[in-house]
Amino acid sequence: MSGIEQSTTVVVRPAAVRIAARVSVGLPGRGTTNSRALETEPIIAAVALSALRMVAIDSNGNLIYADSSNLAQMFSVVGLVRSAVEAGAAVPVLVEGLFSDAAWNWIPGLPIFLGINGTLTQTPPTSGFLLMVGMVISPTQIFIQQQEPTQLWNS
């Protein structure tokens, strides 16, 4: 990545995460495709993390998979991990911006929600909490922009 960096601290309950605004260049087939994306400064992964999964901050300030069935994570979801990492590695997290992956086949115009174990889904969960994490722009491109979570009362 190259470009202008600007940092600010954003409070993500319960931990503070530093966000860096960057001018970024997308990678062929996988990557941000807009000129500006918000991502965190690198955060340590508590467990091995797969690419293209949503993550949350655990009680130690490390990354774990976000899970819509876990009410304790309702306010600690950070964003999308763009690449796989091993436990103990530091990785930036995409908080907002366009992202594409050639293997995706989303339905354009519909929202994307947090699922179980960090998965992205276009089917809203029926228990736990509802968290819209973005919108589908094209079958292979999404815009990540997390909304406020809502507890599902049948939980």
The tally of domains found in the chain comes to 1
Q: Indicate whether 69 pLDDT > 80.
A: yes
Q: Is 111 helix (H, G, I), strand (E, B) or coil?
A: strand
> Does residue 30 have a pLDDT over 80?
no
pLDDT score of 100: 92
Residue 126 has pLDDT above 60, yes or no: yes
The region, left, alpha or beta by phi > 0 then psi within -120 to 50, assigned to residue 139 is alpha
Domain that includes residue 97, residue range = 5-151
User: What are the structure tokens assigned to 121, written together?
Assistant: 């889904």
CA atoms within 13 A on the CB side of 28: 0
Cα separation, 87 vs 80, whole angstroms: 16
Q: Which one has a higher pLDDT value, 33 or 83?
A: 83
pLDDT at 61 over 80: yes
Query: What's the CA angle centered on 120, arms 57 and 115, to 5 degrees?
Result: 70
Q: What percent of the chain has pLDDT over 90?
A: 72
Report whether 93 contacts 44 (CB < 8 A): no
> How far apart are alpha carbons 39 and 42 in whole angstroms?
9
Note the pLDDT of residue 26: 46
Is pLDDT of 72 > 90?
yes
Mean pLDDT of 122-151: 96
DSSP secondary-structure letter at 34? S
Determine the pLDDT at residue 29.
Answer: 43
* Average of per-residue pLDDT values in the chain: 84
Q: How far apart are CA 85 and CA 65, in angstroms?
A: 12
Beta bridge partners of 31: 100
pLDDT band at 122 (very low <50, low <70, confident <90, very high): very high
